[in-house]
Every structure is written in C-alpha cells, then in structure tokens.
Amino acid sequence: MTGGGHGPRPYTFYLLAGLFCLFVLFLYGPMISIYILSFQGPTGGLVFPLKGVSLDWFGALFGQARTGDIGGAFSRSLPLALVTMAATVVISVAAGLAFRKPFVGSSVVFYMALIGLIVPGLVLSIGILVTFNFLGLRASWWGSAFGAHLSWTLPFGLLIMFAVLSRLNPEYEEAARDLGASNWQVLSQVVIPIVFPGIIAVALFGFTLSYDEFPRSWLTVGSRNTLPIEIWTMTTNVTSPALYALGTVTTVISFAVIAAALGSIAYIQRRRRQIGNMR
Amino acid sequence: MKLSKATRYLQVAPLAILLFAFVVVPLSLVVVVSFYTYLHLIGIVPDFTLVNYIDVLSNLVNWKLYLSTLKFTFFTLAITLALGFWIAYFLVFHVRNILVAIGLFLVCTVPFWTSNIIRMISWKPLLGKYGLINQGLMSAGVVDEPVEWLLFSDFAVIVSYVHLYTLFMIVPIFNSMARIDKSLIEAAVNGGATRWGVVWHVILPLCKSGIALGSVFVVTLVMGDFFVVTVMSGGLSGSVTFGIFNDLKFLNYPRASANAVVLVIIVLIFAAGIMRLVDVRKELTR
C-alpha cells in the first residue's frame, strides 16, 4: 500500500500489474500491427497474413501514382506544428508566470482558456472560418488554421504551466533576490531552469496537438491541406496498404520529435550536474 | 516573483488577445450566424430568424443523433474513468521505484504523440471480418463464421474512443495522485483504515480535481468527435457533429451553426456540472 515500502507486495499489485500490461497491449497492439502491415508485399492486402515483405507501399506513397499531395501536406504540417509549438511555449509560459499572483481579470482569461478547451473543435472551425469571411480574409493553413490550433494548444499549455509552477518553491526566488539578483536574472537563471522539463512538456503538447489536429483544421486550412486532412481523405478513398505506410511515416516523424525533446532534457540535466560538480 | 502589475498584464496579454480572437469572437459569430437565413442557391442572408433552431429541434433524426452521442459519451466516460483511475493508482502507489513509475507513465503517453486518425484506423486489420481477432477465434475453433459485429458497430466506436482518450484521464489523475502526501496514507493505515477504506476515503477525495479535469476532456472529446463515429461505425451510427457536417456540405452555415450552438450548450452544461463538484482552478493553481 505505502509506496516506497518494503515487504511482500499485496495481491492488488499483481491484479493491477496485469491490468496495466493488458492496457499497454491494447494501446500498442493495433499500432504495431499496421506498422508491420505497411511492409506488406506487392500482392498483399489490408489484413494479415503478410504476403512477402516489400517497401512498395512506401514507394506508392511518394511515387508517380501517388494518391494525394502527401509531400505537400508534410511540408505544410511540419512548419505549422513547429511555429505553433514555439508560440505556445512563449505565450503560455509568460501567462503561467502572470497567473502566480491574483490580478484583476484573471478569471476572465482563465474561463476563455477553459472554453477553448471545452468547445468542440468542429464548432470553432466553423466560427473561425465565418470570422475570416466577415473580415474579408481568405482561410489559409498559416493564418486561420494557425489561430485555430492556438485556440487548442494555448489552454493546454496554460494548464501544464499551472501544474508545473504550483510545484515551484518560491523560496528559491526569494533566496536569489536576497543575493541581489534582478527580476530578469531570477527568471532566466532560477525559474526557467527549474521548470524546464515542464516547458519541454508544453512544447511537445504544442507540436503534437497541432501536427495531428483534424477537426479544427478541417474548415480553416483553406485550399491546401495539412497532413491529418490528407490522411482523412485517404481513409475514404485509398484501400491499399499505402495508408498504413503513411501511418508508419507520420509516426516516425512524431517519434523523431519526441526523441529530440527528451534528448535535449537529458543533455541539459547532465550539463547541469556537471556544472554542479565543478562548483 | 515580485513583479509590477504592468509586467503581469504584459505577460498575460498575448494569451488573452489570441483567446479572444480565436475563441470568443468565432463563437459569438457562430451564434450570430445561427439566426441568419439560408436561401438555396443564393447563400446566407443576414436576418433574425428562429427557423434554424426550430429545424434542428423538431428534427427527429437530430434527437436520435444526440441520444446516440450521449450513449457513447456515457460508456466511454465510465470505461476511461475506471481504467484511468486504477492505472494511475497502480503507477503512483504500487510501483515502488519512482523512475520505473515515470517510465511506465511515459509508456502510456507515447501513443498519444502519434496521429489519432492512424491509431483509429489501426483497429481495422484487427477487428475486421477477416481481421486478426476473427482469424484467431476461427482457428481456435471458438466460432465457425467470422464475428461481424467487431467492426462497423457501436462496439468498434467505443473501443476506439477508449483507445484514443484514456490518456486524457490518466494524466490529470496521475498528476493529482502524485501530489498526495504519502504520510496521509500511512496515518490512515495506522488509524486502522482498510486498503479499500484508504482508496475511498483518502485517495479518491484527494484526486477529485484530476478526475474532474479528465472527465471534462473525455466528455468534450467524445461529444465533439465525428471522425471516429463515421469511420468505425461504418455509417451505422451517427453523432451530433454528423448532422453539422452534413449541413456544411451543402453550405448551410446557419443551420449548422444553430446545431453547433445547441451542442456547445449541452457540452457546457456537462462541463459546468463536473466543475461544480470541484473548484478546478483553485486546485490547479494552489
């Protein structure tokens, strides 16, 4: 019962460990099966068994007979997700810091963020398109869709910053200030380094929520599709393992981003430890 | 941090402006457009009419869609809540090494970083008529004919929802459970509480905010979904957004907006009801 304790494990441990393993199987099983199926041989179909192993379906994805503008969709989704990520980090970290002390209007901002989280994406998609029409602007992936993504990533970022900053002990800041640090020094040399893993979490959320966002993008991307919309179109008209190949490719890109993020955390933690040892 | 009021407002201004521009204004315009008139072949004409609402509310198909959405919401919420609570409980209170607990937690979150549509589609080669599960059942001799209701059914829809959204339950519950002071539990045990007593009277009340937040996520995600229900039910079941989707196809923005307003009101009632149980904001910023 008590974590960190010793002695024999209670029966509930084994029961819940079993549940956990089943859950992991449930999460990963289907995904792994489509990664395997994306290497289906040229004559293979959408289900097991594999009829040989080939890279044909990856070729089909980018080759002459390609089914949609996958390359173009990638070239829009990736920068959009990166810019959304950067904006989400800067804006929600700043706002999170402001929220540490009460200020007039804080609940208005908080409820706006909450509504951004709660309102169904499709509804916001309609709203943003209508807004752009009213203003005489044209919907585009870098304009209206960018705003639509922010309406979803910013509230998430804010919530994560709440969770992270509520664990930050204000005594560190007071100590720094007692030693003569300026506001900026306290922020850049005490607060930011301590909450850095939380900031990485905000960045990862910002990237993924944008990179995979479908309902909010649907009406707001304008004439050029982002990747999730391209995938959506493919699900309705592609009936070959090329669809799975696309799944494998997008997953590899997502994983590359996570690996870069986690790698940077590990690198920074190690450097910090080295600097700590030197002192 | 000692900051002047002006700095504080400067810090929060970008967030406030963007939320106003991309949440408040669009939603208000949806409400405005819902009172406009849609004329076939002509388009949308500014007006103040209740016809769209009357259309939406008097349509029996719409009521059925709402009922079906509520049914999916209920089942998904029940399953994800149970799974999320016990998985978070296992990670926080049963795994003794904190690094192992964090590692297992990350294992749960990894699939979230990949495309939702792909994750949903990945059930097809398993649940399909000639899918892996049917192949297994037939070769094991459990059934002679492929089981048809695995894919393109309410069952497939709920499986996909649970697969996609359980994480939204695990993360907030894990977050609030991890903050529970372990000495409280020792005190309860020393005071003679049973294992279940501790879960019900100590842990459950202390992770209320996580449960509330997770429930809000799951309810709003399921009620706002339209692609899972469309693909996984094979068109046999619908959701509210399905009706909105159809109106949009014919550019009938006024009626789609009226339907959207009704949907938003229902979702907000749900969320407000859940939030009433706990002051999420106070819990989050404490």
Tally of CB atoms within 10 A around B85: 22
> Which chain B residues have a beta carbon less than 8 Å from that of A187?
1
Averaged pLDDT for residues B186-215: 88
- As a whole number of angstroms, the distance between CA B23 and CA A120 comes to 11
Averaged pLDDT for residues A239-255: 83
Per the CB < 8 A criterion, the answer to whether A218 and A200 are in contact is no
A vs B, Cβ pairs < 8 A, gives 288
Nearest to A218 by CA among B159, B230, B135: B230
The predicted-structure confidence for A96-106, as pLDDT tens digits, reads as follows 999 888 888 88
Which of helix, strand or coil describes residue B225? coil
The predicted-structure confidence for B221-237, as pLDDT tens digits, reads as follows 999 887 888 888 877 77
Nearest to A232 by CA among A120, A70, A36, A119: A70
For B90, which of A17, A34, A122 is closest by C-beta distance?
A: A17
> How many CA within 13 A on the CB side of residue A147?
26
For B1, which of A162, A186, A219 is closest by C-beta distance?
A: A186
Interchain CB distance below 8 Å, B124 and A46: yes
DSSP annotation of B180: S
Amino acid making up residue A264? S
Averaged pLDDT for residues B152-170: 92
Nearest to B233 by CA among B80, B72, B59: B72
- As a whole number of angstroms, the distance between CA A47 and CA B124 comes to 8
Which helix (H) or strand (E) is B43 found in, with range?
Answer: strand B43-45
CATH numbers and ranges of domains, chain B: 54-284 (1.10.3720.10)
The predicted-structure confidence for B86-129, as pLDDT tens digits, reads as follows 999 999 988 888 888 888 988 888 888 788 888 888 898 888 88
> Which chain B residues have a beta carbon less than 8 Å from that of A91?
14-15, 18
Q: Does A166 touch chain B (CB under 8 A)?
A: yes
Interchain CB distance below 8 Å, B8 and A101: yes
**Chain B residue with the nearest C-alpha to that of A247:** B118
- Tell me the ipTM for this assembly: 0.87
Per the CB < 8 A criterion, the answer to whether A197 and A165 are in contact is no
pTM: 0.88
The predicted-structure confidence for A2-37, as pLDDT tens digits, reads as follows 444 567 788 888 999 999 999 999 999 998 988 888
Tally of CB atoms within 10 A around A79: 12
Q: For chain B, how are helix, strand and coil distributed in percent, rounded to 5? A: 75, 0, 20
Interchain CB distance below 8 Å, B33 and A24: no
Looking at the complex, report in whole angstroms how far the Cα of residue A43 sits from the nearest Cα belonging to chain B. Answer: 16
Which helix (H) or strand (E) is B204 found in, with range?
Answer: helix B204-206
Counting every residue, how long is chain B? 286
Q: Kindly report the three-state secondary structure assignment for every residue of B117-168.
A: HHHHHCCHHHHCCCCHHHHHHHHCCCCCCCCHHHCCCHHHHHHHHHHHHHHH
Interchain CB distance below 8 Å, A254 and B114: yes
